[in-house]
Amino acid sequence: MTAVPSPAQYAWQEAERSMFIHFGPATWQGREYDDGSVPVKQINPTQLDTEEWCRAALAFGAKRIVFVAKHTGGFCWWQTDTTEYSVKNCPWKGGKGDVLRELSQSCKKHGLRLGVYIYPGDRTWGAYIGGGGKTEDPSLQDAYNEVFRTQLTEVLSRYGEIEEVWFDGSCVIEVGDILERYAKNSVIFQGPYASIRWCGTERGTMPDPAWSSINKKDLETGTATVVQSDPEGDTWAPLEVDTTLYNHFWFWSPENAKKQKTLSDLMEIYYHSAGRGGVLLLNTSPNTDGRIPAEDIRLLERFGKEIDRRFAKPLAECNGEGNELVLELEEAAVINHVMLMEDIRGGERVRRYRLEAEVNGAWQEIGAGFQIGRKRIVVVEPVKAERIRLVIDKAADTPLLRRMAAFFVKCEDHAALLTAQNSVSLVYDPVTDSWVSPGEGERVLAWNAEDVHEKKFMFDVDISRIVTEPGQYELKFLTEGSAALRIEKLEVLLERQVTDGVLSVIKEGSCYNLTRTSAVEDAQGGKTGVRGCIECLGEGERGSLTVKKIV
């Protein structure tokens, strides 16, 4: 049976665009991760204006704001007694301010939905980055669990309906009862109760295809991403595409603000996120005054207007059911874009399709693909067509086509968009029964008989030079000749700390997916490592480990 969205998932996915807000002590420190180096008494955003934040979101068509109420450092932007490291000890509004309350009121006024990012870890408790709330000192775990549970309860119970809850890097603290009570109609990002997934990269793009369905057992790991997508999966879990406005920084600083993306960058991101069925989560970064810089707001306004200019008025559109749909044009016209949409309330049913244009009475193919999903923007070579035809060559059930629309878009980036679209993102690998990126990985480790003792080979290798940014990475163990192996132990170290929940199996014993969600602040060694033990089987004792970026 085809997986279908819940009402909450459907409403969330229909929004298409959301605005992220990263704002905290790291803004004053000029860092991406709060290290506590700036005293709370110096955090005083005297011009903070949540009305402005909402206007910025509306400027590019966002329907939702996701606010980072607590980041890795543990600082809380709402009134709480769980920590002294919070807004209550800031001079802003005499320590009585509550950013989350002001934002919730502004969102309600402007018709925006509200989501909250609350990091499960906390520097002040030694709950390390990427650990999902696990403390380095086990004796502190129970006490910290209670602190985090209280914080989550406060955030979800005081500020009206929270549509989206973000647990960056999963959550190992049990919070199911809290979510059931206060967030029953929310979508959850990561953690064992996840109902939406990460796209696997912070570049602002999704691979192609990027199915919205997945197997439930994979989703329940808490760290499932686009890599675990399965068109035949039994559970709906759509994809969110988070990316920065500054390339590539989440928090404002005078230097970061100089790295603003261009309008062309943002349009490419739109095509490869919302245009591939995902939800775009575009970050904004208020400065130390609490204001979103005017230059950033102007860019967001231009972004929203450009989306409307391109796609608000189609040459023609239609809808229907079945394996063929023909779009009639009033008269022959040049087109260079086609927008396809399935009615995803019935799931993603299309598995392979072709687009054809009727030119001088004859049909010619102008595009093809596997997935349509909620939205598929297909860039085509300019063609003067009399009609457009969609042919579904393979489907899991009767296709439900919500929309087929043709456009002619005047734009300088058409050739670049067409090239990017036609480059292969993922290919199906029947050996591992998964969608993988083409190409070979880089060898990071090799062993032979001299390295093996009593059929065992212990290894500890730094792969930081390859894992240079958040994303998905393939670890593949290869053997030579008649050699065979069994993975007896395999661990990932982030910042030299063993981190659970970031490895998933692609093919047992030989191929694994590593998910890094935390930023890589510099190129120093020790940022990402792999260690373990291999048991060598058979007669040969030679092999290697390769690593490559998947998305």
Mean pLDDT of the chain: 93
CATH 3.40.109.10 fits 316-425, yes or no: no
Q: Which of 546, 548, 541, 333 is nearest to 457 (CA)?
A: 541
Whole-angstrom Cα distance, residue 526 to residue 158? Answer: 41
CATH class, domain 434-549, is mainly beta
Averaged pLDDT for residues 239-267: 97
**Residue 428 pLDDT level (bands cut at 50, 70, 90):** low
Lowest-pLDDT range, 186-195, 200-209, 494-503? 494-503
Residue 331: pLDDT over 70: yes
Residue 523: pLDDT over 60: no
Per-domain residue ranges of the chain: 7-310, 316-425, 434-549
Token code pair at residue 373 = 């999903």
Residue 537: pLDDT over 90: no
Half-sphere exposure of 175 (CA within 13 A, CB side): 36
Averaged pLDDT for residues 123-130: 94
Averaged pLDDT for residues 455-482: 88
Tens of pLDDT, residues 351-385:
999 999 999 999 999 999 999 999 999 999 999 99
Residue 431: pLDDT over 80: no
- Would you state the pLDDT for residue 351? 97
Token code pair at residue 119 = 């990091």
Greater confidence, 505 or 112? 112
Tens of pLDDT, residues 296-327:
999 999 999 999 999 999 999 999 999 999 99
Q: Whole-angstrom distance between the N-terminal and C-terminal Cα of the chain? A: 28
- Would you state the pLDDT for residue 422? 84
Whole-angstrom Cα distance, residue 335 to residue 355? Answer: 12
- Would you state the pLDDT for residue 497? 83
Residue 400 near residue 349, CB atoms below 8 Å: yes
Residue 165 near residue 118, CB atoms below 8 Å: yes
**Residue 425 pLDDT level (bands cut at 50, 70, 90):** low
**Residue 434 pLDDT level (bands cut at 50, 70, 90):** low
Instruction: To the nearest 10°, report the CA torsion of 284, 285, 287, 292.
Output: 0
Residue 433: pLDDT over 60: no
- Would you state the pLDDT for residue 517? 80
Residue 338: pLDDT over 80: yes
| CATH code, residues 7-310 | 3.20.20.80
Lowest-pLDDT range, 61-70, 233-242, 386-395, 464-473? 464-473
Residue 362, phi then psi, degrees to nearest 5: -120, 140
Averaged pLDDT for residues 466-491: 86
Residue 445 near residue 544, CB atoms below 8 Å: yes
